[in-house]
Chain A
Amino acid sequence: MSDTLSAEILTSHILDLAHSGKRVDGRGPDDYRPVRIEPGFVASADGSALVHLGDTKVLAGVKLEPGKPFPDTPNAGVLTTNAELVPLSSPMFEPGPPTPTAIEVSRVVDRAIRAAETIDLTKLCITPGEKTWVCYVDLHVLDHGGNLIDAALLAGVSALAHTTQPLVRFGLGAADVPLEVDHFPIECTFVRLGDTIVVDPTVDEERAGQGRLTIATDEVGRIVAMQKGRVGAFSPDDVKELVDRAFRHGDRLRSLARGGGTGA
Protein backbone atom coordinates (compact mmCIF):
# COMPACT_ATOMS: atom_id res chain seq x y z
CA MET A 1 0.00 0.00 0.00
CA SER A 2 1.79 3.09 -1.16
CA ASP A 3 -0.43 5.57 0.64
CA THR A 4 2.56 7.31 2.12
CA LEU A 5 1.04 10.06 4.08
CA SER A 6 3.29 13.00 4.76
CA ALA A 7 0.91 14.62 7.24
CA GLU A 8 2.21 16.94 9.90
CA ILE A 9 -0.02 15.36 12.52
CA LEU A 10 1.74 12.03 11.97
CA THR A 11 5.01 13.74 12.74
CA SER A 12 3.54 15.41 15.83
CA HIS A 13 2.13 12.10 16.99
CA ILE A 14 5.49 10.37 16.53
CA LEU A 15 7.22 13.14 18.51
CA ASP A 16 4.55 13.08 21.25
CA LEU A 17 4.90 9.33 21.66
CA ALA A 18 8.69 9.52 21.65
CA HIS A 19 8.52 12.03 24.49
CA SER A 20 7.01 9.29 26.66
CA GLY A 21 9.37 6.64 25.30
CA LYS A 22 6.87 5.07 22.91
CA ARG A 23 6.68 4.45 19.19
CA VAL A 24 3.83 4.08 16.72
CA ASP A 25 4.52 0.40 16.12
CA GLY A 26 4.68 -0.37 19.84
CA ARG A 27 8.46 -0.57 20.11
CA GLY A 28 10.56 1.06 22.80
CA PRO A 29 13.31 3.54 21.78
CA ASP A 30 16.00 0.86 21.80
CA ASP A 31 14.01 -1.95 20.17
CA TYR A 32 15.21 -3.13 16.78
CA ARG A 33 12.61 -4.60 14.43
CA PRO A 34 12.68 -8.36 13.81
CA VAL A 35 15.43 -9.41 11.41
CA ARG A 36 15.42 -12.42 9.17
CA ILE A 37 18.26 -13.32 6.82
CA GLU A 38 18.04 -15.78 3.95
CA PRO A 39 21.57 -16.52 2.72
CA GLY A 40 21.98 -18.00 -0.74
CA PHE A 41 18.74 -16.47 -2.04
CA VAL A 42 20.15 -15.97 -5.54
CA ALA A 43 21.88 -18.91 -7.17
CA SER A 44 23.25 -16.81 -10.04
CA ALA A 45 25.39 -14.81 -7.58
CA ASP A 46 28.62 -16.10 -6.04
CA GLY A 47 27.15 -15.11 -2.70
CA SER A 48 23.84 -13.58 -1.70
CA ALA A 49 21.50 -12.80 1.16
CA LEU A 50 17.99 -11.44 1.44
CA VAL A 51 17.49 -9.38 4.60
CA HIS A 52 14.06 -8.69 6.03
CA LEU A 53 14.18 -5.88 8.59
CA GLY A 54 10.60 -5.22 9.62
CA ASP A 55 8.95 -4.20 6.35
CA THR A 56 12.29 -3.42 4.73
CA LYS A 57 13.77 -5.92 2.30
CA VAL A 58 17.24 -5.66 0.80
CA LEU A 59 18.82 -8.30 -1.42
CA ALA A 60 22.60 -8.38 -1.71
CA GLY A 61 24.45 -10.27 -4.42
CA VAL A 62 28.21 -10.74 -4.64
CA LYS A 63 29.97 -11.36 -7.93
CA LEU A 64 33.68 -12.07 -8.36
CA GLU A 65 35.54 -11.80 -11.64
CA PRO A 66 39.20 -11.39 -12.64
CA GLY A 67 40.29 -7.86 -13.51
CA LYS A 68 43.15 -5.42 -13.26
CA PRO A 69 44.33 -4.07 -9.89
CA PHE A 70 44.58 -0.32 -9.35
CA PRO A 71 48.10 0.93 -10.19
CA ASP A 72 48.66 2.24 -6.65
CA THR A 73 47.67 -1.09 -5.03
CA PRO A 74 49.13 -3.73 -7.35
CA ASN A 75 48.91 -6.46 -4.70
CA ALA A 76 45.33 -5.86 -3.66
CA GLY A 77 42.00 -6.89 -5.03
CA VAL A 78 39.25 -4.48 -5.95
CA LEU A 79 36.05 -4.12 -3.93
CA THR A 80 33.06 -2.23 -5.30
CA THR A 81 29.79 -1.61 -3.48
CA ASN A 82 26.74 -0.35 -5.29
CA ALA A 83 23.20 0.22 -4.01
CA GLU A 84 20.21 0.29 -6.35
CA LEU A 85 17.19 2.10 -4.88
CA VAL A 86 14.91 0.86 -7.62
CA PRO A 87 11.47 2.48 -8.00
CA LEU A 88 9.85 -0.89 -7.27
CA SER A 89 10.77 -0.44 -3.63
CA SER A 90 9.16 2.87 -2.70
CA PRO A 91 6.73 5.47 -4.03
CA MET A 92 9.48 8.00 -3.24
CA PHE A 93 11.99 6.51 -5.69
CA GLU A 94 11.93 7.31 -9.38
CA PRO A 95 13.59 5.66 -12.36
CA GLY A 96 16.84 7.20 -13.46
CA PRO A 97 20.49 7.52 -12.49
CA PRO A 98 21.44 6.96 -8.83
CA THR A 99 20.18 9.71 -6.53
CA PRO A 100 22.30 11.23 -3.76
CA THR A 101 20.39 8.99 -1.31
CA ALA A 102 21.38 5.86 -3.24
CA ILE A 103 24.96 7.04 -3.45
CA GLU A 104 25.03 7.74 0.29
CA VAL A 105 23.79 4.21 1.08
CA SER A 106 26.41 2.73 -1.26
CA ARG A 107 29.23 4.75 0.23
CA VAL A 108 28.34 4.33 3.89
CA VAL A 109 28.04 0.57 3.44
CA ASP A 110 31.25 0.50 1.39
CA ARG A 111 33.16 2.40 4.08
CA ALA A 112 32.09 -0.03 6.80
CA ILE A 113 33.04 -3.09 4.74
CA ARG A 114 36.36 -1.55 3.75
CA ALA A 115 37.38 -0.07 7.12
CA ALA A 116 36.50 -3.24 9.03
CA GLU A 117 38.79 -5.16 6.65
CA THR A 118 35.88 -7.51 6.15
CA ILE A 119 37.82 -9.28 3.44
CA ASP A 120 41.60 -9.16 3.14
CA LEU A 121 41.98 -7.62 -0.29
CA THR A 122 45.57 -8.85 -0.67
CA LYS A 123 44.20 -12.39 -0.71
CA LEU A 124 42.27 -11.48 -3.85
CA CYS A 125 45.47 -10.84 -5.77
CA ILE A 126 46.14 -13.35 -8.55
CA THR A 127 49.21 -11.92 -10.34
CA PRO A 128 50.64 -8.79 -8.68
CA GLY A 129 50.16 -5.70 -10.82
CA GLU A 130 48.35 -7.64 -13.51
CA LYS A 131 45.45 -9.71 -12.39
CA THR A 132 43.25 -9.71 -9.33
CA TRP A 133 39.75 -10.60 -8.27
CA VAL A 134 37.26 -7.78 -8.55
CA CYS A 135 34.55 -8.21 -5.92
CA TYR A 136 31.22 -6.55 -6.61
CA VAL A 137 28.72 -6.19 -3.77
CA ASP A 138 25.41 -5.18 -5.33
CA LEU A 139 22.63 -4.11 -2.99
CA HIS A 140 19.13 -4.26 -4.43
CA VAL A 141 16.44 -2.59 -2.32
CA LEU A 142 13.11 -4.38 -2.77
CA ASP A 143 10.89 -2.80 -0.10
CA HIS A 144 11.77 0.47 1.62
CA GLY A 145 10.23 0.37 5.07
CA GLY A 146 12.97 2.54 6.58
CA ASN A 147 16.59 2.15 7.73
CA LEU A 148 18.06 1.10 4.41
CA ILE A 149 21.67 1.55 5.54
CA ASP A 150 21.53 -1.05 8.32
CA ALA A 151 19.61 -3.52 6.18
CA ALA A 152 21.97 -3.02 3.24
CA LEU A 153 25.14 -3.66 5.26
CA LEU A 154 23.56 -6.68 6.95
CA ALA A 155 22.70 -8.04 3.52
CA GLY A 156 26.14 -7.21 2.12
CA VAL A 157 28.13 -8.76 4.96
CA SER A 158 25.88 -11.79 5.10
CA ALA A 159 26.26 -12.28 1.34
CA LEU A 160 30.06 -12.00 1.62
CA ALA A 161 30.05 -14.55 4.44
CA HIS A 162 28.27 -16.95 2.10
CA THR A 163 30.35 -16.29 -1.02
CA THR A 164 32.28 -18.84 -3.04
CA GLN A 165 35.23 -17.77 -5.17
CA PRO A 166 34.39 -19.07 -8.66
CA LEU A 167 37.84 -20.44 -9.53
CA VAL A 168 36.48 -23.09 -11.87
CA ARG A 169 34.39 -20.70 -13.96
CA PHE A 170 37.44 -18.60 -14.79
CA GLY A 171 39.88 -21.51 -15.17
CA LEU A 172 41.85 -20.44 -12.10
CA GLY A 173 41.56 -23.63 -10.09
CA ALA A 174 40.16 -27.11 -9.94
CA ALA A 175 37.59 -26.35 -7.27
CA ASP A 176 35.82 -23.26 -5.92
CA VAL A 177 36.74 -22.11 -2.45
CA PRO A 178 34.79 -20.08 0.12
CA LEU A 179 35.65 -16.41 0.34
CA GLU A 180 37.41 -15.73 3.63
CA VAL A 181 35.63 -13.16 5.75
CA ASP A 182 37.80 -11.77 8.54
CA HIS A 183 35.48 -9.25 10.20
CA PHE A 184 31.78 -8.61 10.54
CA PRO A 185 30.91 -4.90 10.57
CA ILE A 186 27.35 -4.07 11.58
CA GLU A 187 25.77 -0.70 11.06
CA CYS A 188 23.32 0.69 13.57
CA THR A 189 21.22 3.74 12.73
CA PHE A 190 19.45 6.12 15.09
CA VAL A 191 17.20 9.13 14.62
CA ARG A 192 16.47 11.89 17.04
CA LEU A 193 12.81 12.40 17.88
CA GLY A 194 12.78 15.38 20.23
CA ASP A 195 14.67 14.44 23.39
CA THR A 196 14.53 10.74 22.58
CA ILE A 197 16.86 8.93 20.20
CA VAL A 198 15.39 5.79 18.68
CA VAL A 199 17.13 2.94 16.92
CA ASP A 200 16.16 1.38 13.56
CA PRO A 201 13.73 4.05 12.28
CA THR A 202 10.73 3.40 10.05
CA VAL A 203 10.08 5.64 7.03
CA ASP A 204 7.69 7.81 9.05
CA GLU A 205 10.25 8.14 11.83
CA GLU A 206 12.96 9.05 9.34
CA ARG A 207 10.69 11.76 7.99
CA ALA A 208 9.88 13.03 11.49
CA GLY A 209 13.49 12.69 12.63
CA GLN A 210 15.68 15.61 13.58
CA GLY A 211 18.96 14.11 12.49
CA ARG A 212 20.17 10.60 11.81
CA LEU A 213 23.35 8.92 13.04
CA THR A 214 24.76 5.65 11.76
CA ILE A 215 27.54 3.88 13.66
CA ALA A 216 29.31 0.81 12.32
CA THR A 217 31.03 -1.51 14.78
CA ASP A 218 32.89 -4.77 14.40
CA GLU A 219 33.28 -7.87 16.55
CA VAL A 220 36.67 -6.87 17.98
CA GLY A 221 35.32 -3.66 19.48
CA ARG A 222 36.30 -1.18 16.79
CA ILE A 223 34.14 1.65 15.55
CA VAL A 224 34.75 1.45 11.81
CA ALA A 225 32.44 4.00 10.19
CA MET A 226 29.99 6.73 11.06
CA GLN A 227 27.61 8.94 9.14
CA LYS A 228 25.47 11.75 10.39
CA GLY A 229 22.68 12.46 7.95
CA ARG A 230 19.57 14.59 7.48
CA VAL A 231 18.82 17.87 9.18
CA GLY A 232 19.48 17.84 12.90
CA ALA A 233 22.26 17.62 15.48
CA PHE A 234 23.79 15.38 18.14
CA SER A 235 25.91 16.31 21.16
CA PRO A 236 29.22 14.52 21.82
CA ASP A 237 27.52 12.87 24.82
CA ASP A 238 24.71 11.65 22.55
CA VAL A 239 27.31 10.11 20.27
CA LYS A 240 29.07 8.33 23.13
CA GLU A 241 25.82 6.87 24.37
CA LEU A 242 24.79 5.80 20.89
CA VAL A 243 28.12 4.05 20.40
CA ASP A 244 27.32 1.86 23.41
CA ARG A 245 23.89 1.10 22.00
CA ALA A 246 25.36 0.38 18.56
CA PHE A 247 27.74 -2.22 20.03
CA ARG A 248 24.90 -3.95 21.89
CA HIS A 249 22.77 -4.25 18.75
CA GLY A 250 25.80 -5.05 16.64
CA ASP A 251 26.80 -8.05 18.73
CA ARG A 252 23.34 -9.54 18.43
CA LEU A 253 22.93 -8.85 14.70
CA ARG A 254 26.41 -10.16 13.90
CA SER A 255 25.53 -13.73 14.76
CA LEU A 256 22.62 -13.48 12.31
CA ALA A 257 24.85 -12.09 9.56
CA ARG A 258 27.29 -14.96 10.06
CA GLY A 259 24.77 -17.73 10.15
CA GLY A 260 21.53 -16.44 8.69
CA GLY A 261 18.21 -16.93 10.40
CA THR A 262 15.81 -14.95 12.53
CA GLY A 263 16.18 -12.62 15.45
CA ALA A 264 14.00 -10.03 17.08
Chain B
Amino acid sequence: MRPGRGTYRVGDTIYASILGYYDPRPPVAQVIPLAGRYIPRPGDTVIGTVTDAQGTFWLLDVGAPRWAPLHITGTPWKVEVGETQRYLHVGDAVLVRVESLDPTGRIGVTMLGEGLGKLDGGTIVTISPAKVPRVIGRRGSMIETITRMTGAEVAIGQNGRIWVSGTPDAIERVSEALRMIDEEGHRRGLTQRVEGYLTATSARAPPLIDPRLPSVVQRLHEPRAADGAEEPAGPDDDGPSSSAEPSSHEY
Protein backbone atom coordinates (compact mmCIF):
# COMPACT_ATOMS: atom_id res chain seq x y z
CA MET B 1 0.00 0.00 0.00
CA ARG B 2 1.09 3.55 -0.56
CA PRO B 3 -0.06 6.59 1.38
CA GLY B 4 -3.02 8.47 -0.08
CA ARG B 5 -5.21 11.31 1.08
CA GLY B 6 -5.26 11.88 4.83
CA THR B 7 -2.19 9.77 5.51
CA TYR B 8 1.60 9.97 5.71
CA ARG B 9 4.36 7.42 5.82
CA VAL B 10 7.30 6.96 8.16
CA GLY B 11 9.51 4.01 7.27
CA ASP B 12 7.21 1.11 6.51
CA THR B 13 4.25 2.42 8.44
CA ILE B 14 1.38 4.51 7.12
CA TYR B 15 -0.30 6.78 9.64
CA ALA B 16 -3.52 8.78 9.53
CA SER B 17 -2.94 12.54 9.46
CA ILE B 18 -6.57 13.56 9.90
CA LEU B 19 -9.60 12.54 11.88
CA GLY B 20 -11.56 10.20 9.67
CA TYR B 21 -12.30 6.64 8.78
CA TYR B 22 -9.88 4.30 7.10
CA ASP B 23 -10.92 3.51 3.57
CA PRO B 24 -8.26 1.41 1.84
CA ARG B 25 -8.44 1.38 -1.94
CA PRO B 26 -5.53 -0.91 -2.77
CA PRO B 27 -2.88 -0.01 -3.57
CA VAL B 28 -3.71 3.29 -1.88
CA ALA B 29 -4.37 3.74 1.82
CA GLN B 30 -6.58 6.74 2.46
CA VAL B 31 -8.53 8.33 5.27
CA ILE B 32 -11.85 10.01 4.53
CA PRO B 33 -12.25 13.15 6.66
CA LEU B 34 -15.06 13.33 9.20
CA ALA B 35 -14.62 17.03 9.84
CA GLY B 36 -12.93 20.16 8.72
CA ARG B 37 -13.09 23.02 6.31
CA TYR B 38 -13.78 22.48 2.66
CA ILE B 39 -10.66 21.51 0.72
CA PRO B 40 -11.18 22.43 -2.94
CA ARG B 41 -10.56 20.00 -5.75
CA PRO B 42 -10.72 20.73 -9.46
CA GLY B 43 -14.12 19.85 -10.88
CA ASP B 44 -16.02 20.59 -7.68
CA THR B 45 -19.12 22.73 -7.93
CA VAL B 46 -19.24 25.12 -4.97
CA ILE B 47 -21.30 27.99 -3.65
CA GLY B 48 -19.37 31.14 -2.85
CA THR B 49 -20.19 34.57 -1.54
CA VAL B 50 -18.58 37.70 -2.87
CA THR B 51 -16.33 39.29 -0.23
CA ASP B 52 -14.59 41.87 -2.39
CA ALA B 53 -14.73 43.34 -5.90
CA GLN B 54 -11.45 44.40 -7.51
CA GLY B 55 -10.70 45.80 -10.97
CA THR B 56 -10.54 42.50 -12.82
CA PHE B 57 -11.83 39.96 -10.34
CA TRP B 58 -14.05 39.28 -7.38
CA LEU B 59 -12.90 37.46 -4.25
CA LEU B 60 -15.18 34.62 -3.23
CA ASP B 61 -15.48 32.98 0.14
CA VAL B 62 -16.14 29.34 -0.68
CA GLY B 63 -15.53 28.11 2.87
CA ALA B 64 -12.02 26.99 1.89
CA PRO B 65 -8.83 27.98 3.69
CA ARG B 66 -8.31 30.79 1.19
CA TRP B 67 -10.55 33.12 -0.75
CA ALA B 68 -10.97 32.32 -4.42
CA PRO B 69 -10.57 34.94 -7.13
CA LEU B 70 -13.19 34.82 -9.89
CA HIS B 71 -11.71 36.59 -12.90
CA ILE B 72 -13.94 38.66 -15.19
CA THR B 73 -13.05 36.33 -18.08
CA GLY B 74 -14.54 33.47 -16.07
CA THR B 75 -18.05 34.85 -16.37
CA PRO B 76 -20.61 34.80 -19.18
CA TRP B 77 -20.68 38.61 -19.10
CA LYS B 78 -18.53 41.11 -20.97
CA VAL B 79 -17.14 42.89 -17.95
CA GLU B 80 -14.98 45.95 -18.54
CA VAL B 81 -11.96 46.35 -16.30
CA GLY B 82 -13.05 48.29 -13.23
CA GLU B 83 -16.70 47.53 -13.79
CA THR B 84 -16.89 44.41 -11.62
CA GLN B 85 -19.26 46.01 -9.13
CA ARG B 86 -21.92 46.45 -11.79
CA TYR B 87 -22.27 42.68 -12.04
CA LEU B 88 -21.69 41.19 -8.60
CA HIS B 89 -21.86 42.90 -5.22
CA VAL B 90 -20.36 41.97 -1.91
CA GLY B 91 -22.78 39.50 -0.32
CA ASP B 92 -24.01 37.99 -3.59
CA ALA B 93 -24.05 34.20 -3.75
CA VAL B 94 -22.77 32.41 -6.84
CA LEU B 95 -22.52 28.85 -8.06
CA VAL B 96 -19.07 28.28 -9.56
CA ARG B 97 -16.77 25.44 -10.46
CA VAL B 98 -13.25 24.90 -9.14
CA GLU B 99 -10.87 24.78 -12.09
CA SER B 100 -7.51 24.70 -10.47
CA LEU B 101 -5.66 24.61 -7.20
CA ASP B 102 -2.03 25.63 -7.31
CA PRO B 103 0.64 24.65 -4.77
CA THR B 104 0.19 27.92 -2.91
CA GLY B 105 -3.43 27.04 -2.22
CA ARG B 106 -4.69 29.57 -4.73
CA ILE B 107 -8.09 28.47 -5.98
CA GLY B 108 -9.13 29.15 -9.56
CA VAL B 109 -12.88 29.21 -10.15
CA THR B 110 -15.12 29.79 -13.15
CA MET B 111 -18.72 30.69 -13.69
CA LEU B 112 -18.63 29.40 -17.26
CA GLY B 113 -20.59 26.17 -17.49
CA GLU B 114 -24.10 24.85 -17.53
CA GLY B 115 -26.10 25.79 -14.46
CA LEU B 116 -23.38 28.03 -13.04
CA GLY B 117 -24.11 31.64 -12.21
CA LYS B 118 -25.50 34.01 -9.63
CA LEU B 119 -28.03 32.50 -7.23
CA ASP B 120 -31.27 34.41 -6.79
CA GLY B 121 -34.03 33.65 -4.33
CA GLY B 122 -34.24 30.68 -2.05
CA THR B 123 -31.76 30.27 0.74
CA ILE B 124 -28.48 28.55 1.57
CA VAL B 125 -28.17 25.83 4.17
CA THR B 126 -24.67 25.11 5.44
CA ILE B 127 -23.59 21.62 6.50
CA SER B 128 -20.24 19.99 7.11
CA PRO B 129 -18.46 19.43 3.77
CA ALA B 130 -17.70 15.91 5.00
CA LYS B 131 -21.42 15.17 4.94
CA VAL B 132 -22.02 16.20 1.33
CA PRO B 133 -21.72 12.61 0.02
CA ARG B 134 -24.52 11.68 2.42
CA VAL B 135 -26.74 14.42 1.04
CA ILE B 136 -26.18 13.10 -2.46
CA GLY B 137 -26.58 9.47 -1.44
CA ARG B 138 -25.78 6.44 -3.52
CA ARG B 139 -26.05 7.43 -7.16
CA GLY B 140 -27.94 10.52 -6.09
CA SER B 141 -30.65 8.57 -4.26
CA MET B 142 -30.83 10.78 -1.18
CA ILE B 143 -31.11 14.10 -2.97
CA GLU B 144 -33.54 12.55 -5.45
CA THR B 145 -35.76 11.51 -2.52
CA ILE B 146 -35.54 14.95 -0.94
CA THR B 147 -36.38 16.89 -4.10
CA ARG B 148 -39.12 14.45 -5.15
CA MET B 149 -40.84 14.52 -1.78
CA THR B 150 -40.67 18.29 -1.30
CA GLY B 151 -40.76 19.71 -4.81
CA ALA B 152 -37.86 21.94 -3.90
CA GLU B 153 -35.05 22.86 -6.23
CA VAL B 154 -31.64 22.14 -4.80
CA ALA B 155 -28.06 22.90 -5.83
CA ILE B 156 -25.38 21.13 -3.85
CA GLY B 157 -22.01 22.74 -3.37
CA GLN B 158 -19.23 20.30 -2.49
CA ASN B 159 -18.24 22.91 0.08
CA GLY B 160 -21.23 22.02 2.24
CA ARG B 161 -23.38 24.92 1.11
CA ILE B 162 -26.67 23.86 -0.32
CA TRP B 163 -28.95 26.23 -2.16
CA VAL B 164 -32.63 25.44 -1.68
CA SER B 165 -35.49 27.09 -3.51
CA GLY B 166 -39.23 26.50 -3.58
CA THR B 167 -42.23 27.21 -1.39
CA PRO B 168 -41.44 28.34 2.16
CA ASP B 169 -42.74 25.00 3.39
CA ALA B 170 -40.52 23.06 1.00
CA ILE B 171 -37.50 25.08 2.07
CA GLU B 172 -38.29 24.39 5.70
CA ARG B 173 -38.61 20.65 5.13
CA VAL B 174 -35.46 20.40 3.02
CA SER B 175 -33.54 22.42 5.61
CA GLU B 176 -34.67 20.08 8.35
CA ALA B 177 -33.77 17.02 6.27
CA LEU B 178 -30.31 18.49 5.62
CA ARG B 179 -29.88 19.21 9.31
CA MET B 180 -30.71 15.57 10.06
CA ILE B 181 -28.13 14.40 7.55
CA ASP B 182 -25.54 16.80 8.93
CA GLU B 183 -26.02 15.74 12.53
CA GLU B 184 -26.92 12.08 12.12
CA GLY B 185 -25.28 11.28 8.80
CA HIS B 186 -22.89 8.74 10.27
CA ARG B 187 -25.56 6.68 12.01
CA ARG B 188 -27.50 3.78 10.58
CA GLY B 189 -30.97 4.12 9.13
CA LEU B 190 -30.45 7.67 7.87
CA THR B 191 -32.43 7.22 4.67
CA GLN B 192 -35.37 5.76 6.57
CA ARG B 193 -35.30 8.62 9.08
CA VAL B 194 -35.17 11.29 6.39
CA GLU B 195 -37.94 9.61 4.39
CA GLY B 196 -39.95 9.20 7.56
CA TYR B 197 -39.65 12.88 8.34
CA LEU B 198 -40.54 13.95 4.81
CA THR B 199 -43.52 11.57 4.70
CA ALA B 200 -44.78 12.78 8.05
CA THR B 201 -44.66 16.37 6.83
CA SER B 202 -45.77 15.68 3.25
CA ALA B 203 -49.42 16.58 3.79
CA ARG B 204 -48.24 20.13 4.27
CA ALA B 205 -47.11 20.86 0.76
CA PRO B 206 -47.94 19.82 -2.78
CA PRO B 207 -44.78 19.04 -4.75
CA LEU B 208 -44.63 22.03 -7.04
CA ILE B 209 -41.55 23.05 -8.93
CA ASP B 210 -41.28 26.71 -9.62
CA PRO B 211 -40.68 26.85 -13.38
CA ARG B 212 -38.79 30.12 -13.08
CA LEU B 213 -35.91 28.49 -11.29
CA PRO B 214 -32.79 27.40 -13.08
CA SER B 215 -32.51 23.69 -13.49
CA VAL B 216 -29.10 23.09 -12.07
CA VAL B 217 -30.01 20.13 -9.99
CA GLN B 218 -29.46 16.98 -11.92
CA ARG B 219 -25.94 17.47 -13.09
CA LEU B 220 -24.77 18.48 -9.67
CA HIS B 221 -25.67 15.12 -8.25
CA GLU B 222 -22.90 13.46 -10.15
CA PRO B 223 -20.25 12.18 -7.81
CA ARG B 224 -16.95 13.99 -7.58
CA ALA B 225 -14.87 12.71 -10.42
CA ALA B 226 -11.65 12.99 -8.51
CA ASP B 227 -11.99 10.27 -5.92
CA GLY B 228 -14.80 7.97 -6.99
CA ALA B 229 -15.40 7.59 -3.29
CA GLU B 230 -18.60 9.56 -3.18
CA GLU B 231 -20.21 6.98 -0.95
CA PRO B 232 -17.57 4.75 0.49
CA ALA B 233 -20.33 2.71 1.97
CA GLY B 234 -21.47 -0.74 2.67
CA PRO B 235 -24.45 -2.45 1.04
CA ASP B 236 -27.04 0.02 2.28
CA ASP B 237 -26.66 3.69 1.59
CA ASP B 238 -25.96 4.52 5.15
CA GLY B 239 -22.34 4.75 4.53
CA PRO B 240 -19.49 3.62 6.60
CA SER B 241 -21.34 2.85 9.79
CA SER B 242 -19.42 -0.33 10.28
CA SER B 243 -16.11 1.41 9.77
CA ALA B 244 -17.05 4.81 11.11
CA GLU B 245 -14.60 4.46 13.92
CA PRO B 246 -12.05 7.18 13.63
CA SER B 247 -9.11 5.72 11.87
CA SER B 248 -7.34 3.09 13.83
CA HIS B 249 -3.81 4.35 13.75
CA GLU B 250 -3.43 7.48 15.69
CA TYR B 251 -6.83 8.98 16.31
Contact = CB atoms under 8 A, between A and B. Distances in A.
A236 interface: no
A9 B168 contact: no
Interface stretch (A14-22, A73-81, A148-156, A254-262): A14-22
A9 B126 CA distance: 13
Contacts of B108: none
Nearest to B128: A1
B91 A7 contact: yes
B122 interface: yes
Interface size class of B (residues with CB under 8 A): 20 to 34
B123 A9 contact: yes
A146 B162 CA distance: 22
B168 A7 contact: no
Interface in B98-137: 119-124, 126, 128
Contact of B49 (A1, A7, A12, A26): A7
Contact of B168 (A8, A10, A11, A16): A16
A20 B167 CA distance: 12
Given A9-B120, A9-B121, A13-B123, A22 B168 contact: yes
Interface size class of A (residues with CB under 8 A): 10 to 19
B172 interface: yes
B33 interface: no
A7 B93 contact: yes
Contacts of A11: 91
A9 B119 contact: yes
A188 to B, nearest CB: 26
Contact of A3 (B91, B123, B160): B160
Contacts of B160: 3
A8 B118 CA distance: 12
A6 interface: yes
Given A1-B128, A3-B160, A8 B172 contact: no
Given A9-B120, A10-B124, A13-B123, A3 B161 contact: yes
A3 to B, nearest CB: 5
Interface in B35-70: 37, 49, 61, 63
A8 B128 contact: no
A8 B161 contact: no
Contact of A9 (B122, B128, B172): B122
A231 interface: no
The list of the 3 closest CB pairs from A to B, nearest first, reads A13-B123, A8-B91, A7-B93
